[in-house]
Amino acid sequence: MRLRTGGIDIFYIDESHDDSVYVVTAVTVPFLRKVDSVWTIIWPDHLEAAKLWRRRIKAALGVPSTKELHGVKLASGRGRYKRGRWQFTKARSSAVYRMILADIDFVPDASIMSAAVYRGARNLYGNTKLEAALHALFQRMRQQCVARNANAIVFFDEGHPEYRKLYRKAQIFLPTGSMFGGWTSGLLSRNLPLDMFTKDGNDKASRHCHFTQTADLVAYAAFLKIKSEQGQLTNWQDHSRRAQRGCCTENQIPPNNGADAFPRSADRRPSSHA
């Protein structure tokens, strides 16, 4: 395998689901890029930016930097995120979740993607539920790698051996349909494997990884959006979903009862050429 001209990206994957909706999200972090004609490992720049993000969260919201972030716990007022000892009220927890989501700034644009399936939907090339969502996510990951002409590595949240099995299969066989209903060969699908991914899948404990926790936060937001569209939100989920509307625009981080929003450095972007 030759190194592609776009360098190497790392995908961090996590999921959110219940008995009817299954969502998987990938966060793409640039690892290797050519900077001033020299191959340069730029992943540490994004890690430092993620650490700064956690320090802003701690300063503004009192959530310890070492506390693992879970979307469902943050949105529902569980998890003892307030100073690491107490629960936020449900109303406050929704605002906290929104502010944390809105302040994700340590990856380049178009670096977060999600795929979802419904329970009872037609299987996707033999896959159902979370496995079907993951199959669709792999297709999007490949499409992004082709667009960037990049190689890639993948990290899964630990505890999902079935994901590694499906990933290994996708490196060899990943049937993909056409948006036009078929390929020029006349076939409805074509094998477009993850042949630019350099190695076997890796397991990563999310409690030790800011990027995997980010995938979890976004996956749960996507999950709430889909449940809202289906009219299946519980009362607290509906409240949390309403609080998140508009959260993805950087300038819409709300103040905390008149207090300043997140303190920011002069340059919020990673010091890389990604």
The CATH number covering residue 52 comes to 3.30.420
DSSP assignment of 109-155 equals TT-EEEEEEETTSPPBTTB-HHHHHHHHHHHHHHHHHHHHT-EEEEE
Asked whether residue 106 is domain-assigned, the answer is: yes
Q: Kindly state the tokens that stand for 19.
A: 């008995």
Report the pLDDT value the prediction gives residue 183, as an integer from 0 to 100: 63
Q: Apex CA 23: angle with CA 230 and CA 204, to 5°?
A: 160
Asked whether residue 130 is domain-assigned, the answer is: yes
Asked whether residue 271 is domain-assigned, the answer is: no
Mean pLDDT of 2-18: 95
Q: Kindly state the tokens that stand for 50.
A: 């993620």
> pLDDT digits over 228-262, tens only?
888 876 665 555 555 555 443 333 333 333 233 33
Q: Kindly state the tokens that stand for 194.
A: 């993850």
Asked whether residue 149 is domain-assigned, the answer is: yes
In terms of residue numbers, what domain contains 12?
A: 8-252
CA–CA dist 19, 109 (Å, integer): 32
Name the nearest CA neighbour of 150 among 270, 262, 4.
4
Mean pLDDT of 33-53: 97
Contact 107, 28 (CB under 8 A): yes
Q: 247 or 93: which carries more pLDDT confidence?
A: 93
Name the nearest CA neighbour of 133 among 171, 98, 162, 102.
162
Contact 105, 270 (CB under 8 A): no
Name the nearest CA neighbour of 95 among 65, 129, 43, 57.
57
Strands (E) in the chain, as ranges, are 8-17, 21-35, 38-41, 112-118, 151-157, 175-177, 189-191, 202-204
Asked whether residue 266 is domain-assigned, the answer is: no
> pLDDT digits over 56-77, tens only?
999 999 999 999 999 999 988 8
Report the pLDDT value the prediction gives residue 242, as an integer from 0 to 100: 58
- Classify residue 30 by its DSSP letter: E
Question: How many independent structural domains does the chain possess?
Answer: 1
Report the pLDDT value the prediction gives residue 182, as an integer from 0 to 100: 67
Rg over alpha carbons for the chain, rounded to the nearest Å, is 19
Report the pLDDT value the prediction gives residue 237, as an integer from 0 to 100: 56
CA–CA dist 239, 109 (Å, integer): 28
CA–CA dist 142, 133 (Å, integer): 14
Q: 129 or 5: which carries more pLDDT confidence?
A: 5
Asked whether residue 261 is domain-assigned, the answer is: no
Contact 210, 54 (CB under 8 A): yes
Asked whether residue 237 is domain-assigned, the answer is: yes
For residue 264, pLDDT beyond 50: no
